[in-house]
Chain A
Amino acid sequence: MSELAFFIDYSRCIGCRACVQACEECDTHRGQSMIHLETIERRDTVQTAPQMCMHCEDPVCARVCPADAIKQTPEGVTQSSLKPRCIGCANCVMACPFGVPKYEAHIDQMMKCDYCFDRTSVGKKPMCATVCPSQALTFTTREEIERTRRGRPINEWRFGDEVVRTKVFVLVPPATTRVDVGLGALRAGKNGPHIRPVAKDDVAALLEDLP
Chain B
Amino acid sequence: MSEDAKRHLPLWRRDFPIRWDEDHYVTRRQLAKFLTLGSAILVGANLAMVAAGRTRTSMAYPPQRLCAADALGPGESLLFRYPTAQDPCILVRTKTGALVAFSQVCTHLSCAVVYRPADDRLFCPCHEGVFACHEGTAGAEPLEGPPERPLPRITLDVRQGDVFATGVVS
Residues of A within 8 A of B (CB): 59, 62-63, 68, 70-74
Contact = CB atoms under 8 A, between A and B. Distances in A.
Contacts, number: 17
Nearest to A61: B18
A63 B21 contact: no
The 3 closest A-B pairs by CB, nearest first: A62-B18, A68-B16, A74-B21
Contacts of A63: 18
Contact of A59 (B18, B20, B23): B18
A107 to B, nearest CB: 23
A74 B16 contact: no
B19 interface: yes
Contacts of A70: 18
Secondary structure of the A contact surface, majority rule: loop
A73 B20 CA distance: 5
A71 B20 CA distance: 6
A46 B167 CA distance: 106
B20 A74 contact: yes
Nearest to A74: B21
7 contacts: A59-B18, A68-B16, A71-B18, A71-B19, A71-B20, A73-B19, A73-B20
A17 to B, nearest CB: 32
A53 to B, nearest CB: 15
Contacts of B23: 71
By CB atoms of chain B within 10 A, which of A62, A63, A72 has the most?
A72
B1 to A, nearest CB: 9
Interface in B1-30: 16, 18-21, 23
Contacts of A59: 18
A206 to B, nearest CB: 36
A72 B16 CA distance: 12
Contacts of A71: 18-20, 23
Contacts of A72: 18-20
A122 to B, nearest CB: 17
Residue from B20, B21, B23 whose CB has the most chain A CB atoms within 10 Å: B20
Contacts of B21: 74
Contacts of B18: 59, 62-63, 70-72
